[in-house]
């Protein structure tokens, strides 16, 4: 929704020829072997997405649109949906794509640049495994100079295995690294070296019935809270802890950048210019 940005940040140009962040993501995904795009959007912004993202990409690959609707809930919880205006969250957004996806797939945010290596390691993972996967990044690479961000903080055991993911919604950059503020208003320091989730996931369609079960439980417990969200990292952390989902933690040192605040646009455009000048991307992107 772009509440902190103040508009549809996914359709803001960052490339030298007006390219969007998602175009660089799709360019990298295509090179890694992905061949289909499913856009999860709100119905009221369909025309904007078709005119921008869809028009640019439909000649490159198959593009489908699915809609994250407030009313897409089990019948017993329709009253909660009728009283709500805020989307149900990232876990619900993935669940909205359940009718459109039949093969292993990646999940990304449209306003995040993840780097080409992430798509390559995820494609290589699926070539030999049916386990779910999370592409993680060092926290310090993912902070904004212009305000707080939300990240999924990954806990890792002594063997390097992912154990839990905790969604932190108020992480700020500091001189020593970072800090986050909890729901009670207390601040907690972070080193910046922690591995975090930026919603770059790999799943098989087996995840959909699992998300449906968890979403139903979320609605029973918190559906009446108009601000509560069904977060994807929290859902997968639950599945992982219960031992019903195996999640491989994949890492990449590629640069990440995203657009949370309007001031982040200039930073993103500068990063794209540097990558283009280094020969990582052609200009114009699609030749």
Which of the four pLDDT bands, split at 50, 70 and 90, describes residue 4?
Answer: very low
Give the pLDDT mean for 79-101.
94
Tens-place pLDDT, residues 193-226:
999 999 999 999 999 999 999 999 999 999 999 9
pLDDT at 5 exceeding the cut of 50: no
Tens-place pLDDT, residues 35-82:
999 999 989 889 888 888 888 888 889 999 999 999 999 999 999 998
Tens-place pLDDT, residues 122-131:
999 999 999 9
**pLDDT higher at 11 or 273:** 273
pTM of the model: 0.88
At residue 266, what are phi and psi to the nearest 5 degrees? -65, -40
Weakest-pLDDT range from 36-40, 158-162, 220-224, 267-271: 158-162
Which domains occur in the chain, in start order? 9-277 (3.90.550.10)
- List C-alpha distances in Å: 240 to 88, 161, 166: 22, 11, 12
pLDDT of residue 56: 83
């Amino acid at each position: 929704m772009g509440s902190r940005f103040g508009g549809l940040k996914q359709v803001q140009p960052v490339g030298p020829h007006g390219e969007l962040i998602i175009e660089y993501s799709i360019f990298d995904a295509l090179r890694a072997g992905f061949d289909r795009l499913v856009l999860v959007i709100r119905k009221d912004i369909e025309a904007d997405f078709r005119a921008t993202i869809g028009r640019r990409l439909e000649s490159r690959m198959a593009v489908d649109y699915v809609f994250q609707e407030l009313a897409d809930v089990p019948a017993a919880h329709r009253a909660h949906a009728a009283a709500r205006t805020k989307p149900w969250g990232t876990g619900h957004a993935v669940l909205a794509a359940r009718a459109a996806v039949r093969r292993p797939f990646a999940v990304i945010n449209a306003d995040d640049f993840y780097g080409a290596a992430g798509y390559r390691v995820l494609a290589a993972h699926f070539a030999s495994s049916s386990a779910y996967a999370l592409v993680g990044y060092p926290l310090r690479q993912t902070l904004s100079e212009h305000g707080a961000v939300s990240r999924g903080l990954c806990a890792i055991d002594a063997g390097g295995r992912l154990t839990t993911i905790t969604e932190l919604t108020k992480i700020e950059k500091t001189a020593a690294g970072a800090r986050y503020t909890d729901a009670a208003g207390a601040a907690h320091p972070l080193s910046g070296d922690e591995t975090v989730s930026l919603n770059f996931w790999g799943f098989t369609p087996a995840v959909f019935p699992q998300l449906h079960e968890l979403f139903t439980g979320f609605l029973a417990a918190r559906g009446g809270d108009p601000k509560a969200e069904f977060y994807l990292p929290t859902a997968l952390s639950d599945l992982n802890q219960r031992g019903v989902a195996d999640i491989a933690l994949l890492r990449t040192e590629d640069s990440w950048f995203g657009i949370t605040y309007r001031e982040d646009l200039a930073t993103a455009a500068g990063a794209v210019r540097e990558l283009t000048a280094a020969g990582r991307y052609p200009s114009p992107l699609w030749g």
